[in-house]
Amino acid sequence: MQHFLGVEELRRALESQAGVDLLRPAEAVFASMLGSWGQQQRSRGLTEDTVTGRAGVVARFADFAGTYPWQWQAADLDEYTSVLRTRGLAVSTIRQMHGTLSVFCDYLIDPAYDWVQICESFFGDTPSQICLSWNTTRHLQDYEGHPGRRALTYEELQHFFDHADSKVEAAVAQGRKGALAALRDAQMFKTAYAFGLRRAELRGLDLADLHFNAKVPQWGQYAALHVRWGKAAKGATPRRRTVLLVPELAWWIEGMRQWVEEGRDLFAPGELAAMWPTERGARVSVEYIDRRFTALRRELGLDPALKLHCLRHSYVTHLIEYGYADRFVQEQVGHAHASTTAIYTSVSGDFKNRILAEALRRFNTLEDS
């Protein structure tokens, strides 16, 4: 961990002008601000990745502004935001940056800490809150993703999985290398859809994450998946959940059994527990997963806006269409709030027509009685 001076140590060093670090007092104070803020966040239980990521956001803004936090102005944030918008950054990314800077400024001006007094005493200026209601990006709507990122239709999914399977057959028929990797990738994408997994959740699966379900003993260890790398909340550790396989997607079992019992060991993974090993004895990367999905999508001529995450959209949509309760779907995909699940739900016209037909039958029954 990078060394920084604590508040009292920093105050004494500034007053005595002692120490090599204090040859550049402004830099030393800024480093101590970031270091002390990091300690405060760790005390709150935030992960090291979150602490490091937030420090990076603050450092990049400071580099852009060319000044230190006690010199920052709201206009600096306005200009920085404008530059980020011209670079095409997503609204959600900019809002997250605003949130990080706002939290940092709140920490600096909090009376429980001494940064205001230190800055006023030694620099004649004080930090202030530069993230205000009129210059920060607000969350105005539930979903801010690209409109083209939608659930795949049943036909698109079938084409996608058939195409992935054809890669295995083609490699075997032509005697080329890559048949085993193609088999792994095909089953990997089917797993992402069959359990509604995010990229990190999919990549992080181990053999031990296959689970039984007493309600369907005939499915053996392929009845559920234990997800250990779920999306973390506010810098906490990854959430865990168990996702049950639903009967409508039980077709997944045959391919998964073939992969686990016959295919995976051909990679010679040794003691590697990963569900999806590589030829080099490592776990597949999220970058690789994205590249392979993109390649298959392009070969099929599907909409470029469709990303791997759309398989998760498809899972939620199709479970709703199958008639599963909203609460069940919410638990399956690991959403803390029902409203998040609703964002992902884009039920098909056939489903809506079915609901309408049922309503019309009830209405006609009432009229006839």
Q: What is the pLDDT of residues 295-320, one digit of tens each?
A: 999 999 998 888 999 999 999 999 98
- How far, in Å, CA of 45 to CA of 43, rounded? 5
Same domain, 243 and 318: yes
Same domain, 160 and 292: yes
Buried b (16+ CB within 10 A) or exposed e, 161-177: beebbebbeebeeeeee
Residue 189 lies in a domain: yes
**Whole-number Cα distances in Å, 228 to 36, 113, 209, 249:** 31, 37, 8, 21
Same domain, 199 and 324: yes
Our count of domains for the chain comes to: 2
- Over the stretch 152-172, which tens digit does the pLDDT of each residue have? 989 999 999 999 999 998 888
Same domain, 251 and 302: yes
Q: Which of 203, 187, 200, 70 is CA-nearest to residue 128? A: 70
Q: Which amino acid is at 28?
A: A
- Over the stretch 27-84, which tens digit does the pLDDT of each residue have? 889 999 999 999 999 998 888 888 999 999 999 999 999 999 999 999 999 999 999 9
Contact 21, 28 (CB under 8 A): yes
Active site residues: 198, 234, 309, 312, 335, 344
Residue 246 lies in a domain: yes
DSSP line for 190-226: HHHHHHT--HHHHHT-BGGGEE--TT-GGGGGGSEEE
Residue 263 has pLDDT above 70, yes or no: yes
Same domain, 191 and 250: yes
Residue 229 sits at φ, ψ, to 5 deg, of -120, 45
Q: Which of 125, 176, 328 is CA-nearest to residue 241? A: 328
CATH assignment at residue 108: 1.10.150
Out of 48-52, 81-85, 141-145, 196-200, pick the least confident: 141-145
Contact 245, 195 (CB under 8 A): yes
Range of the domain at 306: 154-359
In terms of pTM, does the model score above 0.85?
Answer: no
Structure tokens at 258: 């073939």
- How far, in Å, CA of 349 to CA of 69, rounded? 54
Q: Is 228 helix (H, G, I), strand (E, B) or coil?
A: strand
